[in-house]
Amino acid sequence: DIQMTQSPSAVSASVGDRVTITCRASQGIGNYLAWFQQKPGKVPKRLIYDASTLQSGVPSRFSGTGSGTEFTLTISSLQPEDSAVYYCLQHTTYPHTFGQGTKVEIK
Amino acid sequence: EVQLLESGGGLVQPGGSLRLSCVASGFTFKNYVMNWVRQAPGKGLEWVSAISGSSGSSYYADSVKGRFTVSRDNSKNTVFLHMTRLTGEDSALYYCARPPGLGVWGQGTTVIVSS
């Protein structure tokens, strides 16, 4: 099975800061990587698919890069509404696997 | 509009069984693999199972293999998750989700395993 190691587990940053979250796959997954945002009590929302394609309607301050085994999600200028837990997902093979999640808090 | 609607959750005793359903609308259901994902209270997301559009192939997380069975009825646009030998670790909000990349999710149905 492919393991997804996500870091950091939590980050606290100020409004306007740049925040970067990383996911590392235990083996190559091409670009079959998605990023999700989940706010408390809400359904996960996909932000990025195919590692770098922004989901329609998602603000352009979110971006994704990477391929193979190293992937990053960047929030270029953190906003109060970005407080949430973020997950990566590899869907190149079964079982699909999520990262452990990164909690983003606003200072 | 693409929609997924789960049902069938509830309170079940340890060792018991439950069948979840997910009704799809707004897309050609038979053309899509369908997935189940769960989230235990206060925990992260865990992929559980998937089934191909033709029901020819099914896939499971190690944590549920041998206990859960995924199936679908394309005539009713419905995917099922039959869960047996349930334990407290199976207590979670269960979502169905559609590819590509799990871009579409239902609202979820809650399973509580407790005596």
pLDDT tens readout for residues B37-63 = 999 999 999 999 999 998 789 999 999
User: How far does the CA of residue B1 sit from the closest CA of chain A (Å)?
Assistant: 15
Dihedral Cα A87, A93, A95, A98, nearest 10 deg: -10
Of A72, A90, A97, the C-alpha closest to A11 is: A72
Tens place of pLDDT per residue across chain A (107 aa): 999 999 999 999 999 999 999 999 999 999 999 999 999 999 999 999 999 999 999 999 999 999 999 999 999 999 999 999 999 999 999 999 999 999 999 99
**A49 to chain B: which residues are within 8 Å by CB?**
100-101, 103
Q: Does A43 touch chain B (CB under 8 A)?
A: yes
Of B62, B99, B105, the CB nearest to A91: B99
**Do residue B107 and residue A43 have CB atoms under 8 angstroms apart?**
yes
Q: Which run of H or E residues covers position B39?
A: strand B34-39
User: How far does the CA of residue B115 sit from the closest CA of chain A (Å)?
Assistant: 25
**A99 to chain B: which residues are within 8 Å by CB?**
44
